[in-house]
Amino acid sequence: MGHDRPLPGSPGRGGGVTESAGSRTPSPVATPAARRSSSRASRWLVFGGVAVTVVVVDQVTKAVVTSALAPGQSVPIIGDLLRIVFGQNTGALFGLFQDNALMFGVVSIAVVGLIVAYHARAGASPYLTLTLGLLLGGAIGNMIDRLRLGYVVDFVDAGIGTVRFYTFNVADSAISLSILLLIIAAIRPSLVDGAATSSGEAAR
């Protein structure tokens, strides 16, 4: 008599289970902890990516202005409405509190640390991640100027005739936009809560 072969999936001679030739090992399912870890990593990647983008654009535009213009020199873009001018700001945002570059340099370092710490505790909200990334990039962009030059390079000058807005730069724009987004979030918390909820559900 021939030897009987164990049927697929039935116990063999060793007492184990013989798998059929076509069976495959199922793909491992990611655990909730692994998904949360991946979500945190993605959040930090976006946060850092936004900040780095702001810093790079800010520093490149400032380098172009300082290499092409002398301090105080201006170039009209849209007549007198919009001009590019090489300004040296020793104060804060939009030229406020002049001649305090060193103090603002130290404050900027502290602000950068606070932004990073707040983002670490802010939860999985894409809205806040983007907003804080803009804020961090703007703070770092101006901090680099203060620590390296002793002043911040401003170059966007807008206004009509003698009525001019404060001269500003890319970093200032990012900071202003982030502040606006934070104000909107304070008025409509559902924007942040809803985004965080959707992100959390996607990670489950």
Nearest to 123 by CA among 132, 135, 113, 136: 132
CA distances in angstroms from 26 to 12, 99, 112, listed in the order given: 22, 66, 46
| Sign, Cα dihedral of 123, 125, 129, 131 | negative
Check: CB of residue 153 under 8 Å from CB of residue 145: yes
Q: Given strand 152-160, what is the order of strands in its sheet? A: 74-78, 82-89, 152-160, 163-164
Check: CB of residue 154 under 8 Å from CB of residue 58: no
Strand (E) or helix (H) holding 162: none
Q: Which of 4, 154, 157, 193 is catalytic?
A: 154
Task: Considering only CA atoms, give the Rg of the chain.
Answer: 28
Which residues, including other chains, have CB under 8 Å from residue 132's CB and lie 6 or more apart? 47, 115, 118, 119, 122, 178
Tell me if residue 58 is catalytic: no
Q: Which of 58, 145, 157, 172 is catalytic?
A: 172
Tell me if residue 193 is catalytic: no
Distance CA 132, CA 175 (A): 9
Which residues does the annotation mark as catalytic? 154, 172
